[in-house]
Amino acid sequence: MANKVKSMWYCSNCGNESPKWIGRCPGCGEWNTMIEERVNVKGSKSATFERDNKAVPLPISQIETRQETRLHMPSEELNRVLGGGLVAGSIVLIGGEPGIGKSTLVLQNILSIRGKRILYVSGEESASQLKMRADRIGRLSDNCYIVCDTSLENILGHIKQVEPELVVVDSIQTIASDVIESSAGSVSQVRECAAQLLRYAKSSGTPVILIGHINKEGSIAGPKVLEHIVDAVLQFEGDRHYMYRILRSIKNRFGSTSELGIYEMVQRGLREVSNPSELLLSQSSDDGELSGMAIGVTLEGVRPFLIEAQALVSTAAYGTPQRSVTGFDSKRMNMLLAVLEKRVGFKLAQKDVFLNIAGGLKVNDPALDLSVICAILSSNVDMAVPRDVCMSGEVGLSGEIRPITRIEQRVLEAEKLGFSTILVPKNNMKGFDTSRLKIKIVEVAKVEEAFRALFA
């Protein structure tokens, strides 16, 4: 008898099924998320690993706690984001823009692991392409097995044959199961394949790394349930036209989501940036200090580093003033310009203002406000901010400098890099012993006080 083919509607947000289209998903409540897919109804079940049916309910007080076994990765930045390494039996999803370096990051890490049998499943690239990338990275390993396949059943067969201690799937959107009629990358395929790999990881204790695509909105492609069932979701961010990449943790069941790793894209792959502040600050010019530059202390997660805000203010040549921003929120810069004009008295309405955050990074920390307005003022009056002075503070609508979080970490980072003076919000240092610090701390309450401290 021929298999019966019918259409089902799946929610792209939660994966909820429906025999017909409905405007609002009954599972998650989202509107217009139902996608039609053709499914092939079969009586057989998909290939899977045996499940343990001997589990019995236990009171939580009787459950034994044990230390999670972690696989230490060669990249310390990756270990930091994972919370200390790859936990045995965990499943990690790494997503990012096309060409950002996801496959390179994973490949150069697994090629440096010694004494572990690793299976790398590629559904996008051929084996020769992966070999060329490994040659470019400069690392070869006999412990890493490469297989190019997109069938879930075949992949599970390869896993049984190789018996790896780590599995990498690149990417989950290219894998398809034979028991589902829809094409690879659909809601049902991604959900089924991820569930089978999760079952394998938990039953065997083998960690699995999934590489995932993102859609045009920037979120992980596929159903939202994909992010729910995995143990950790890592986002690889950055602009392909710049050399810096940020690995950020969105979800982590075995560590903090506040950590992040910074990499630099070079010819031989990704290089770890252990001290990003030294690379994000431009070197002093031999011709003297330049106006329009101010150093701010920002936080990415729990990691402080110093970054340079560059501004250029010039008379509007074509009537309508231009406002151009790179790496900073344009609406927030317009607010800071209004504060400068209304509260401080600088007339910038008829001037072009260009702002750039050095290094190609996108910064959302409000503590960078003070360095942004100081860079704008420095360019406007053509007076340079001293290169050994940095600052950190949020600017309010009335021109006040508001307190910021983790001020101690920011001050210690500035001192470690050799800055002599730091401007901080007034009364933000309460309870912090500054007697042992070599850096001079200047507390300011208003924008005018910061200007006087810099340009007096």
Q: Which residues are annotated as a binding site for ATP?
A: 96-103
Token look-up 């009586």 returns 43
Question: What pairing do the DSSP bridges indicate for beta strands 293-300 and 440-444?
Answer: unpaired
Nearest-5° Cα angle at 265, 79 to 110: 40
Count Cα neighbours of 172 within 13 Å in the Cβ-side half-sphere: 34
Whole-angstrom distance, CA of residue 426 vs CA of residue 234: 37
User: Which amino acid would we find at residue 112?
Assistant: S
Query: DSSP 3-state assignment of 442?
Result: strand
Instruction: Decide: 93 and 172 in contact? Cβ < 8 Å.
Output: yes
User: Which amino acid would we find at residue 120?
Assistant: Y
Q: Spell out the residues 6+ positions from residue 329 whose beta carbon is closer than 8 angstroms to its own.
A: 364
Nearest to 104 by CA among 308, 352, 327, 270: 270
Instruction: Decide: 32 and 11 in contact? Cβ < 8 Å.
Output: no
Cα–Cα separations (whole angstroms), residue 373 to 34, 176, 392, 451: 47, 53, 11, 10
User: Which amino acid would we find at residue 15?
Assistant: G
**Could you give the residue ranges of the DSSP H alpha helices within 96-253?**
102-110, 127-137, 152-162, 187-204, 225-229
CB atoms < 10 A from the CB of 122, how many?
A: 22
Whole-angstrom distance, CA of residue 446 vs CA of residue 454: 13
Size of the chain in residues = 456
Whole-angstrom distance, CA of residue 102 vs CA of residue 187: 22
Instruction: Decide: 231 and 87 in contact? Cβ < 8 Å.
Output: yes
Whole-angstrom distance, CA of residue 354 vs CA of residue 321: 10
Whole-angstrom distance, CA of residue 313 vs CA of residue 453: 21
Nearest-5° Cα angle at 64, 61 to 69: 145
Nearest-5° Cα angle at 130, 126 to 134: 165
For the annotated binding site, the residues are: 96-103
